[in-house]
Structure 1
């Protein structure tokens, strides 16, 4: 992995573009998996996810990313020098632990994310099931990753 990373560091402009196409989907997926959840996690056991759901999931993740970044930056400004805590949309304790202004930002982000997921044709429960399955299923993780790359290279027309 280090050799691949070093290789991309050596290519100036083309490398930066390629790095962003590779790193952004991974970071986005990892962040979504690790930070935001809408319902209580359940143990995933070889969940069957069809290609339409993979595409919908990837589109939702990409659509949520700008709002997530904005919410994160706004919460960071409110909190100041402290580390931004883990925020779980369905966990009132994680949201209530935030200062009032940051809490409002988190609630708005969670509501917006739910709308994005629904607009992509997935229920919140199904989105969460896929998110959990990604932690255990390398084939699904690779499929989502490849779909994220494809969508970033060729965004769907609206």
Structure 2
């Protein structure tokens, strides 16, 4: 049986120290190479932003500008339909409008034309506006950016 003093002999200590140093170097090299490989993958996988700040600002301005017209159109259609449920109206989906009574269809079409003009007046194409609207449903960071922009625009006089 070995004595405790034998475990700590000079040659044993050198061997243990060398092994510790060797495993330390391997572990450190592994961590460093892993860090580089992860960071390069992250950069390669990071998609470019879908919407830039100018588009977010234009989108928010358009939303604020069209909101009074949207509420007005909604109230007019609600009066025409009465107690019935108002279907979801999507401007670029003719089927959502064709299910309405004729006079309500006219109101919806007029609103959509007005909304499209507002979007264009605020520097966006209608397809860009729709793309942002769809992206908002799945992108919480974009949703927060648009929300903060809407708040800022509503608090700043003469911002629109």
Do both proteins adopt the same fold according to a TM-score greater than 0.5, normalized to the shorter chain? yes
Deviation at 1:156?
3.2
Count of matched residue pairs: 114
Counterpart CA distance in 2 for 1:154 and 1:66 is 18
Partner of 1:104: 106
Partner of 1:120: 122
Per-residue deviation, residues 34-90 of structure 1 (Å, max 9, x unmatched): xxxxxxxxxxx8752111110000000000100000000000000011011111112
1:129 aligns with 2:131: yes
The answer (yes or no) to whether the contact 1:47–1:133 under 8 Å persists in 2 is: no
The answer (yes or no) to whether the contact 2:58–2:123 under 8 Å persists in 1 is: yes
Over 6 Å off, 4+ runs:
none
Pick aligned residue for 1:153 from 148, 152, 155: 155
Counterpart CA distance in 2 for 1:122 and 1:155 is 22
- Secondary structure, in 3 states, of the residue corresponding to 1:121? coil
TM-score by length of 1: 0.68
Partner of 2:96: 94
Mark the runs of 5 or more structure 2 residues left unpaired by the alignment: 1-46
Per-residue deviation, residues 9-30 of structure 1 (Å, max 9, x unmatched): xxxxxxxxxxxxxxxxxxxxxx
Pick aligned residue for 1:83 from 63, 66, 85: 85
Distance 1:91 1:157, change over 3 A: closer
TM-score by length of 2: 0.67
Question: RMSD over aligned Cα, in angstroms?
Answer: 1.5
Partner of 1:74: 76
Structure with the bigger percentage of helix: 2
Mark the runs of 5 or more structure 1 residues left unpaired by the alignment: 1-44
